[in-house]
Structure 1
Amino acid sequence: MDKNKEVTEFIKNAEKEQQNLLTVLRDLIIKAVPEAREQFKWSRPVYATDKDFCYLKTAKNHINLGFFNFEKVEDPEGFLGGTGKQMRHIKISTKEDIKAEVFTKMLQQAAVF
């Protein structure tokens, strides 16, 4: 996957505490779904295969790893939050919140259409 320049700038301009988390999440998405396209839409990084499947969004005290195709994602540990009909997300505040193995499976499931 080619890294999108706008996403790189988005990460660079984020709060210091969030820059590292965004970088780790970006790398996790790229590794989990190497065929994905990295885009910058709706003022945030968005990743797509045939369709958009996940996004990263900053908030004051956390980052959302969001899923567009959440109904295809197995979530036995109950990480997904939100009540949206089309999107759900995982709130990530610290590096310890990133469960690489579990998130990798979730990303791979969401990326399949």
Structure 2
Amino acid sequence: MIDNAVLAKFEEDKVRPQHRAVFNTIRTAILTCAPQLEERMRGGTETYYGVPVYRLKRDIIALSPNAKGITISFTKGAQFIDPAGHLGGTGKASRTLAYSSKEGFDEQVLCDFVRQAIEVDEK
């Protein structure tokens, strides 16, 4: 579990004010649809800042703020079933969802991908 003070500092320093509502909505949705996941901060270096990640056996989801909103990265997302084409990315393993506001956020879509991430991690 992420220390509240650490998370508050991350949000203040890294998440743009206009994206904070969707950032918190995403966090809440992940933990609601998959309470078995552990939320923690992953590393960080002098070049890259740490980000919130969610894990079962391994890190399976990461939340990354950027200028346009919040990107949700699924470590093994290339293995997911995505008939509606919601996921972005073309790499060998990961796929992403991106949201810029609560208005465009779809909790059901996110939870479906969270469940798939858990299934892949449990294999």
Specify the TM-score bucket, using the shorter chain as the normaliser. 0.7 to 0.9
Match of 1:109 in 2: 116
Q: Which range moves more in the overlay, 19-28 or 4-13?
A: 4-13
Structure 1 runs of 4+ off > 3 angstroms? 2-5
Q: Deviations over 1:21-64 (max 9, x none)?
A: 11000000101110111111141111001111111101111210
The TM-score, its normalising length taken from structure 1, stands at 0.88
Match of 1:79 in 2: 86
Percent of aligned positions with the same letter in both sequences?
A: 25
Q: How many residues align?
A: 112
After TM superposition, give the deviation of residue 89 of structure 1 in Å.
0.6
Q: Which range moves more in the overlay, 49-58 or 76-85?
A: 76-85
Which segments of 5 or more consecutive residues in structure 1 lack a partner in the other structure? none
Cα distance in 1, alignment partners of residues 60 and 112 from structure 2: 13
The TM-score, its normalising length taken from structure 2, stands at 0.81
Which segments of 5 or more consecutive residues in structure 2 lack a partner in the other structure? 45-49
Cα distance in 1, alignment partners of residues 96 and 3 from structure 2: 22
What pairs with 1:30-109 in structure 2 (closer than 5 Å)?
30-41=31-42, 42=44, 43-109=50-116
Cα distance in 1, alignment partners of residues 92 and 79 from structure 2: 13
